Copies of this chain bind each other. A is one copy, B any other.
C-alpha cells in the first residue's frame, strides 16, 4: 500500500566551491553589527510530498531525483530526510 511521505532534501555546496552569495551575506551581517560571524554558506532546501510503498523506496527515489535534477553533483552535496 502506497502512502505519502514528507521529505526534506538539502543541497549544499561542496567544501572548496566558491560561494559569492554566502560571502555577500557575511558582509551584510557585519554591516548590520553582527560580530563573531565566521563563514556563511548558502544552500537550498526542497520539501517534497511523495507517494511510495516504504520509507526506503521513498529515499531511493529522492536520491535519484537529486542525481537527475535537484543537485549538481559536480559542485553540490545533498542529504535526504524522510518522515
Q: Which A residues fall within an 8 A CB radius of B?
A: 2, 4, 10, 12, 22, 25, 28-29, 32, 34, 36-52, 61, 64-65, 68-70
Contact = CB atoms under 8 A, between A and B. Distances in A.
17 contacts: A10-B45, A12-B47, A29-B65, A29-B69, A32-B65, A34-B61, A37-B49, A38-B49, A39-B49, A40-B46, A42-B45, A42-B46, A43-B44, A43-B45, A43-B47, A44-B45, A45-B45
Contacts of A25: 46, 69-70
Contacts of A2: 36
A61 to B, nearest CB: 7
A51 to B, nearest CB: 3
A44 B42 contact: yes
Contact of A47 (B28, B29, B40): B40
